[in-house]
Structure 1
Amino acid sequence: MNRRHLIKAGAVLTASVLASRFIEARERTMIKTLVIVSHPYPERSTFTKALQQAAESVEGVTVRNLETLYGFDTRAIDDEKERQITREHDRVVFIFPTHWFNITPMMKAYMNDVWGNVGPGLWEGKEFLAVTQAAGGSSTYGKSGRIGVDLKDVFLPLKASALHCGMTYLEPLAFEAADRSKIPDYQQALIARLQQ
């Protein structure tokens, strides 16, 4: 193993230890929250896994990882069960990596099956929060970046979907130029948002 790999492994291990220590303290949310997690490559999911762990540490939060529950079969989602679980919560949070400036394939299938067949109004009054991370930084996002918009603004279709359903769309939590050494900071930021 070369020096670069050792340094990288050490940084990941340090971030993981810090993250687990941080999460040991059980937090609580005042709003019953459903967190839907998706990552198209779960075995490479450093940030999404860490954010899922943070969400799981908050009492009053239910976490559903789509790939863990349904694999990669976009037709396997149990829409009735997922709809019932959603009805039991007052806030819905999506955690996902930015995947070609979009949500993941399983998350899109989830929206198609769980949200798509019931029409507007079913989720009326619930809050919606998007939590995402991307490797790209200012060279990609922002007014002077390649795409000319902030990462949080890439997800305007999510905002439109939430508003169409009568939900309150919350300011997204978007981590640009995601850095493994900042994982505990990202977890803390998520927990703070879940407690609001």
Structure 2
Amino acid sequence: MQTLVIVSHPYPEQSVAIKSLQQIAEQTADVTVRHLETLYQNDLARFDIAAEQKAHEAADRIVYLFPIHWFNLTPMLKAYLNQVWSYGWSFGPNGTALKDKEMQVVVTAGANALTYSEQGLIRSSMDEVLTPMKASAYYVGMKYNQPLAFYGAVGASPETLATFQAAFAERL
């Protein structure tokens, strides 16, 4: 199975958990990694849409790896999806490029798991926070896999990061 991993982090120089997960993806056979901020330097107008669509077309599974950013996607990833998942390519007339591919969302959160629960501060689960990704996957005919969420990523110990990496490697 060919896997494409799209990585986004709004502050890549501060990224520890996402970088550690990206390293696992880069070491895995049949995985292509594209880090948006590295490729496009936070310039939302620079996306090479043809290249990004071609990368998606070559994959059986697409992993979106990002930190939860104010209970949402990163700004770069949102802009990327808006442009790359275009009408006529991913949906609409003749738009079936993503149909039957798997979507795997992998996120990190600085807060603990309790924060992402009905009893927690935001009174919403991680699944609820990720509803736009789930809806988007189904809208374009993708199979939506259960998300993989890593909590307490800010200041995570090397042991915790190793646990994150092992779980991600198993999912890949």
- Fold shared, TM-score > 0.5 on shorter chain: yes
CA-to-aligned-CA distance 1:29-50 (integer Å, 9 cap, x gap): xx10000001000110001100
TM-score where L is the length of structure 1 = 0.80
**Does the alignment pair 1:83 with 2:61?**
no
Mapped contact 1:152–1:173 kept (Cα < 8 A)? no
Q: What letter corresponds to residue 86 of structure 1 in structure 2?
A: H
Aligned partner of 2:161 in structure 1 is 183
Looking at structure 2, the residues matched to 64 and 102 of structure 1 have their Cα atoms a distance apart, in angstroms, of 20
Q: Is the 8 A contact 1:40 1:104 kept in 2?
A: yes
Percent of pairs with identical residues? 45
1:112-144 CA-to-partner distances (Å, cap 9, x unmatched) read 111133342220010000000111114521110
Is residue 170 of structure 2 the alignment partner of residue 192 of structure 1? yes
For structure 1, the residue ranges without an aligned partner over 5 or more in a row are: 1-30
> 1:135 aligns to what?
110
Give matches, 1:1-196, under 5 Å: 31-117=1-87, 118-120=89-91, 121-178=96-153, 179-181=156-158, 182-194=160-172
CA distance in 1, matches of 2:59, 2:164: 24
TM value normalised by structure 2: 0.91
How well do the aligned residues superpose, as a CA RMSD in angstroms? 1.2
The superposition leaves residues 12-59 of structure 1 with CA deviations (integer Å, 9 ceiling, x where unpaired) of xxxxxxxxxxxxxxxxxxx10000001000110001100100111110
Letter in 2 for 1:103: L
- Compare the two structures and name the one with the higher helix fraction: 1
Residue 152 of structure 1 contacts residue 174 of structure 1 at CA under 8 Å; is this kept in 2?
no
Give unmatched runs, 5+ long, in structure 2: none
Deviations 1:57-77 (CA, angstroms, capped at 9, x unpaired): 110000000011000101100
- Secondary structure of the structure 2 residue equivalent to 1:59: coil
SS at match of 1:146: coil
Q: Which runs of 4+ in 1 moved over 6 A?
A: none
